[in-house]
Structure 1
């Protein structure tokens, strides 16, 4: 495995999406733990909600039609980090 990735969740403060962003960060840290360098929360405005993996956009609320469910988010991160990794019940 290469260097540990950095995840950034950019959320809209005007829309009060901090709790959603924090929950998603918690889920990623619970699942991937020490395989991640960090999960950062970055405040934004204007309805923004996007998730970046080492600077690459993996989810954007407007482009992708809403928010990812946790299963989808974990699969997106896993597919970039370690595609052969089994996520247990999430993959079933």
Structure 2
């Protein structure tokens, strides 16, 4: 486990007008179950119309506008793992 100072912050930016708070909260829960000891914070951030982006510190991990769909938890978890805990196996998320 990293110290609090070194732990990254995960932020899920979502469009409240699109009703995506529930989806963002679910994604945060899925990520939190796997990485709660590795992240300093998981934040839900209301943003502009149509936005659903996932950020790990200053790096955008996922952008719905670029991909055209919502992310799978597997994709986000793999990226986070590669950055914060490269040796960790994610079980079914690695298959």
Which is helix-richer, 1 or 2? Answer: 1
Per-residue deviation, 1:85: 1.4
Q: Which runs of 4+ in 1 moved over 2 A?
A: none
> Which blocks of at least 5 consecutive residues in structure 1 are unaligned?
none
Q: Tell me the distance in 1 between the aligned counterparts of 2:88 and 2:52.
A: 27
Q: Tell me the distance in 1 between the aligned counterparts of 2:7 and 2:89.
A: 18
Q: Does 1:51 align with 2:54?
A: yes
The count of residues paired between Structure 1 and Structure 2 equals: 92
Q: Does 1:12 align with 2:21?
A: no
Quote the residue 2:68 is aligned against.
Answer: 65
Quote the residue 2:41 is aligned against.
Answer: 38
Per-residue deviation, 1:84: 2.2
Q: Tell me the distance in 1 between the aligned counterparts of 2:33 and 2:85.
A: 16
> What is the TM-score with the length of structure 1 in the denominator?
0.92
> What is the TM-score with the length of structure 2 in the denominator?
0.89
Q: Tell me the distance in 2 between the aligned counterparts of 1:46 and 1:33.
A: 29
CA RMSD of aligned residues (A): 1.3
> Which blocks of at least 5 consecutive residues in structure 2 are unaligned?
none
Q: Tell me the distance in 2 between the aligned counterparts of 1:35 and 1:14.
A: 31
